[in-house]
Amino acid sequence: MSAANSYQPSLFDQPEKKPAIVFDMAAGKRLAKVGMDLAVETANKKEKDWSKRCWQLFLFWLRYKKKGFEFMIEDFRLDMYQKDLLEPPPSERAFGVLSYRASRGGWIERIGIAKVKNKKAHNANASIWRKL
C-alpha cells in the first residue's frame, strides 16, 4: 500500500453508525412464561399433579412465616427437599410458577435480587421476595 492511498482516521472522524440493540421486554416476558409452563408440564408428566402439590406446600410454608419474611424461592425448594416433602422436578425452573402465582395473588412482593446459593446455577441472580 502506498502512502498516498493509506488513510489514518483523525479524532474528528465520525464512527460508523450502527443500529442500537433494542430488547423486546414484552416478548421476553412471554417467552419466560412459556419456558416456565413447559418446565411445569414436564414436572407434571414425571410426577402426577407435581405443580398442584408444590403450590399447596408453598402456601402452607408461607402461611407460617411472619409478615415481612424475606426469602428466595430456592429457600422453599431446599426446605422441601431436606424434609423429603417434594420430589425434584426435571428442571428446577418449574419452581418459577410459585413466585409468578404468589406475586399476582398478593401473597408476596419482589424486593430485590441476589446471587443464588445453588452451585449448578453458576452464580445466577434470582429475586428476593417478601411475604405480605
Residue 16 placed within a domain = no
Residue 3 placed within a domain = no
Secondary structure class of 125 (helix, strand, coil): strand
Dihedral, CA of residue 125, residue 68, residue 80 and residue 113, to nearest 10: 0
Which residue numbers in the chain have pLDDT < 50? none
The per-residue pLDDT for 115 is 93
The per-residue pLDDT for 19 is 74
The CA distance from 99 to 77, in Å, is 12
Grid cell 443500529 is found at 19
* Number of domains making up the chain: 1
The per-residue pLDDT for 23 is 83
The per-residue pLDDT for 117 is 86
Q: How many CB atoms neighbour CB 47 within 10 A?
A: 15
Q: What is the CATH number of the domain that holds 45?
A: 1.10.10
Residue 12 placed within a domain = no
The per-residue pLDDT for 2 is 57
Reported pTM: 0.78
Residue 9 placed within a domain = no
Residue 2 placed within a domain = no
Which is nearest to 92 in space by CA: 73, 79, 109?
73
Residue 17 placed within a domain = no
Residue 6 placed within a domain = no
Task: Look at strands 70-71 and 125-131 and give their pairing.
Answer: antiparallel
Domain containing 34 equals 25-131
The per-residue pLDDT for 4 is 60
